[in-house]
Chain A
Amino acid sequence: MSAPTGITRATLLKDLRLEWRSKDAINSMLFFSLLVVVVFSFSFDPSAEESRQIAGGLIWVAFLFAAVVALNQTWARELRNQVLDAYRVSPAPANSLFIAKTLGNFIFVTVLEALMTPLFIVFYRLRALGPAWQLLLVAVLGTWALVVNGTFFAAMSLRTRSREIMLPLLLFPISIPALLAMVQSTTAILNGEGARFWIVLLVTYDLVFTTVCLLLFETVLNAE
Chain B
Amino acid sequence: MTETEPVVTVSNLIKQFGRFAALRGVTAEFFGGKLYAILGDNGAGKTTLLRTLAGLNQPSSGEVTILGSSKFHDICQQVGYMAHPSLLYDEMSGMENLDYFARLYGITSSTRGAEVIRAVILSVGLDPDLVRPVGQYSQGMRQRMSLARALLNDPKILLLDEPFSNVDTHSATEMVRLLARTRDQGKTIFIVTHQASLLEHAADEFVWMESGKIVGRTRELKRPASSGETAR
Which residues 31-74 of B sit at the A interface, judged by CB distance below 8 A?
54-58, 73
Nearest residue (CB) in B for A79 is B85
In the bound complex, residues from chain A placing their C-beta under 8 Å from that of B73 are 91
Q: Which residue of A has the minimal Cβ distance to B153?
A: A90
Q: A88-B56, A91-B105 are in contact. Are A82 and B100 (CB under 8 A)?
A: no
Identify which of residues 1-32 in chain A touch chain B, using a CB-to-CB cut-off of 8 Å.
Answer: 1-2, 6-7, 10-11, 14, 17-18, 21-22
Are A89 and B56 interface neighbours, CB within 8 A? yes
Chain B residues, Cβ within 8 Å of A21: 91-92, 133
Q: Which chain B residue shows the least CB distance to A1?
A: B106
Q: Return the contact of B91 from the options A18, A85, A86 (Cβ within 8 A).
A: A18
B134 and chain A: residue at smallest CB distance? A81
Interface residues on A, range: 20 to 34
The docked-state distance in angstroms from the alpha carbon of A92 to that of B92 is: 20
In the bound complex, do residue B87 and residue A2 qualify as a contact, i.e. CB atoms below 8 Å apart? no
Asked if B103 and A77 make an inter-chain contact with CB atoms under 8 angstroms apart, the answer reads no
A224 interface neighbour in B58, B76, B92, Cβ under 8 Å:
B58
Q: Is the CB of B86 within 8 A of A81?
A: yes
Q: B86: which A residues are within 8 A, CB to CB? A: 81
Taking the complex as formed, is A40 at the interface, i.e. its CB lies under 8 A from any CB of chain B? Answer: no
Write the B76-110 contact mask toward A (1 if CB under 8 angstroms, else 0): 11010101011111111000100011011110100
B61 vs chain A, min Cβ distance (A): 15
Is the CB–CB distance between B77 and A1 below 8 Å?
Answer: yes
Cβ of A10 and Cβ of B92 under 8 Å apart?
no
**Cβ 8 A contact of B76, one of A14, A80, A83, A89:** A89
Encode contact with B along A167-211: 1 for CB under 8 Å, 0 otherwise. 000000000000000000000000000000000000000000000
Q: Complex: how many Å from CA A11 to CA B99? A: 11
B88-145, CB < 8 A from A:
88-92, 96, 100-101, 103-106, 108, 133
CB-defined interface of A69-113 with B at 8 Å, one 1/0 digit per residue? Answer: 000000001001111011111111000000000000000000000
A88 to B87, CA, bound (A): 11
Cβ contact within 8 Å between A86 and B101: yes
Residues of A contacting B106 in the complex (Cβ-Cβ under 8 angstroms):
1-2, 91
Q: Is the CB of A92 within 8 A of B87?
A: no
User: Considering the complex of A and B, which 7 residue pairs feature the smallest CB-CB distances, nearest first?
Assistant: A90-B104, A86-B87, A92-B104, A10-B103, A1-B106, A82-B85, A2-B106
